[in-house]
Homo-oligomer: A and B are copies of this chain.
Amino acid sequence: MSSEDAGPRLYFEDLAVGRRVTTASVSVDADAIKAFASQFDPQPFHLDEAAAVKSFFGGLVASGWHTAALTMRLLVTSGLPIAGGVIGAGGEVQWPRPTYPGDTLTVVCEVIAAKPSKSRPDRGMVTVRSETVNQDAEVVQVMTAHLVVPRRPS
């Protein structure tokens, strides 16, 4: 995947409320789950199958932050080719179920709000709700993100 595959660049004017995009997919295996966790979330249920069995999750699962990072990769490389980049000021994230080794994730996102900036006529704020789903269409993450998006140059 590369951002070159993502098609034309999007401006604020292109991101009308209701616009929906489905990204490409990415798979995650146990080695990737452990590699992420050893750097950023070194807890037994993300690092070691045997220890994970005795944990809250009952087996190895990905860090929620790993799911979030993979979601960002999908949005950047195949979901929202925004002119100037996908630049988030923040948002809300929920992880209704874990990502497991072998899962294949896809993101479905929808523009739920779009407002021109009052102070900066060259940009607007766009709110995007993204559902990250696994191969069984189960939702592993719901994110509502506020993005800074440039207006189309006139």
Contact = CB atoms under 8 A, between A and B. Distances in A.
Interface of A: 2-3, 36, 39-45, 55-56, 63-65, 68-70, 72-73, 76-77, 84-95, 142, 148
A85 B45 contact: yes
B63 A72 contact: yes
A64 B65 CA distance: 11
Given A56-B148, A72-B65, A43 B88 contact: no
Given A56-B148, A93-B93, A148-B56, A39 B88 contact: no
A43 B142 CA distance: 22
Interface of A is mostly: mixed
Contact of A42 (B39, B40, B73): B73
B2 A73 contact: no
A95 B90 contact: yes
B84 A56 contact: yes
Given A42-B2, A148-B56, A91 B93 contact: yes
Among A41, A63, A91, the one with the most B-chain Cβ atoms within 10 Å of its Cβ is: A41
